[in-house]
Structure 1
């Protein structure tokens, strides 16, 4: 997209919260072209710093910290009418409450390739037992594992959620020659060469179940104990969506007793306040996460599937554009 810099009187003001240094550089380079004035802080939005938005109708927030309803009320009192979250998901904001008090919440689109690439990497690492292999090699034990890896072309992969990211995962899987099943809560156009099935059928027939659905009341624990119990012996769970899509205690139980072959998780229930923090030398305050990290057949990464330079630029640019478009609509009301 090309943007022509508008006259100064046409500029809108945006307060950007939870902004990392690399994000700040992009915001500051893109804002003049799109016609906005910025106030940037590395602090997550809270009632304590909401006053920073006193001259902004629009704010941009990170997905890394939840936003309380009390904070939303304070923002409304200060005149904020639009929140752009720099994420696809809304699970850190009570969107219904925000809308009930007159604040619109919008998300951003970014390169689906970032998460899709990462998802395929996790699948391959899981079925080739990469974690245990690397651990042994780091200990100078160079013998091969007693159990051989598996090849994607021999497996059936079930893709749950066929939006932009799920569709990009399916595109990549075609190149490996594996069978693909798909399921989505929302009706979507059929995907050529992919069987769309109900969720129970998908979990029963898949060697790998990969999750790309948004988190909502409807999708909470989409992969629950009943469905985990119905998965194929030796199957794998890959989750780059949201942690609460999986009933974590049920997943741990199935891994503990050997019913599942492994898991690769970029998101975990209760990750808030843990992922993105430096906890070296400290006890991890999430027993599920600690248990999963002990297992040789479970890969855990700290919610970074989206973390590419291309996706970051998309996120920052679209967050600014969303605020700019809201301001334009506001001025014409």
Structure 2
């Protein structure tokens, strides 16, 4: 989907349908709910807003509405999609770029169209570059030592981005925005994408892995890209390389990455997403044993940064996601009404 700033022109186009359109919004945090209520009051949409995730039990909240909007934080079971269909829902807008938290084929089977949203790519791009800088300056160890009142310098100095080669895998809106930011730092930028579309040096994937000091992932998670960085490709990485992932956890074979990190072959990783993050990320796990053994191993490593799928989380991106989700629903109603 093409990124669009939520626009008043789009508001006016949607206006003729808004007064008769009801939308059920699932999985809304307080701040997101406030954005939804502000947007629907301006657009005239009738909302049903709940903090509950979409499930078979909560599908009844959509009764009478043909459109629903859902978050990405909870996996949506096929039983929930079937329940939505029985309630009369025909369109689902997910307030995320990725759709891997639901079964698209099954949704189509039960008569529900699914569409993602676009939001400002700057949120994830800014965060990605921040993780790169933190990784090459050994920020995790530095902060831990400083918090323990150890103010000595690290044994090894950090690196500067201008001296490094950064390989960007996937150059859609977010990958391209990362490359735009990297121009200001200097250094060499390599890119790989099956559809080259930005100002970078495109090379085959094997060459990018072998030449890059930092590899950052920005491709969608599909059956074809699952474990894009598998054991064989991780072994191709330049010794001492750093892996950054703000895309989807399944793009990396986590066990293979752990082996390379624990052996010292790679010098670090910065991961905002992780395989099996569901049920861990977005939950308060203080005082509880970490049952995700790979997460526990990664967090013990001094050269691995972990954050809980938060790269997208800015006020600007949330507002975009909410408004574009509503506009998606209104466009669906317009299309089905007027053909």
Report if TM-score (shorter chain) is over 0.5: yes
For 2:3, the equivalent position in structure 1 comes to: none
- Conserved 8 A contact 2:17-2:333: no
Match of 2:290 among 266, 279, 284: 284
- Could you tell me how far 1:21 is from its partner in structure 2? 0.6
Return 5+ residue gaps in structure 2 as ranges. Answer: 1-6
Tell me what 1:11 maps to: 20
TM-score by length of 2: 0.95
1:295 aligns with 2:304: no
Q: Deviations over 1:31-79 (max 9, x none)?
A: 1322311000000000011000011100000000011111111111111
**Match status 1:158 vs 2:167:** yes
1:285: Cα distance to partner?
A: 1.8
Asked whether the 8 Å contact 1:14–1:60 carries over to 2, the reply is: yes
| Shift in CA distance, 11/146, structure 1 to aligned 2, threshold 3 Å | same
- The reply on whether 1:217 has 2:226 as its aligned counterpart is no
Note closer, same or farther for the CA distance 1:35–1:177 as it changes in structure 2 (3 Å cut). Answer: same
Q: How far did residue 318 of structure 1 move?
A: 0.3
SS of structure 2 residue aligned to 1:175: helix
Determine whether 1:309 maps to 2:315: yes
Alignment partners' CA distance in 1, 2:302 and 2:88? 51
Q: Which residue, out of 52, 55, 59, partners 2:64?
A: 55
1:7/1:96 CA distance change after superposition, 3 Å: closer
**Counterpart for residue 34 of structure 1:** 43
Query: 1:254 Cα deviation (Å)?
Result: 0.3
> Which of 278, 282, 292 lines up with 1:272 in the alignment?
278
| Contact 1:14/1:36, CA 8 A, preserved across alignment | yes
SS at match of 1:260: coil
Distance in 2 of aligned mates of 1:34 and 1:183: 41
The answer as to whether partners of 2:17 and 2:330 remain within 8 angstroms in 1 is no
Secondary structure of 2:325's aligned partner: helix
- Equivalent residues of 1:34, 1:321 under 8 A apart: no
Residues 99-139 of structure 1, C-alpha deviations (whole Å, 9 max, x = no match): 12211100001010000000000000000000001111111
Distance, in Å, in 2 between the alignment partners of 1:234 and 1:146 is 16
RMSD: 1.2
CA distance, structure 2, for counterparts of residue 30 and residue 310 of structure 1: 14
Q: Is residue 35–residue 324 contact of structure 1 (8 Å, CA) maintained in 2?
A: no
The gaps in structure 1 that reach 5 residues or longer are none
Aligned to 1:98: 107
Contact 2:107-2:114 within 8 A present in 1 as well: yes
Q: Quick one: distance in 1 between partners of 2:110 and 2:249? A: 29
3-state SS of the aligned residue for 1:109?
A: coil
CA distance in 2, matches of 1:299, 1:322: 35
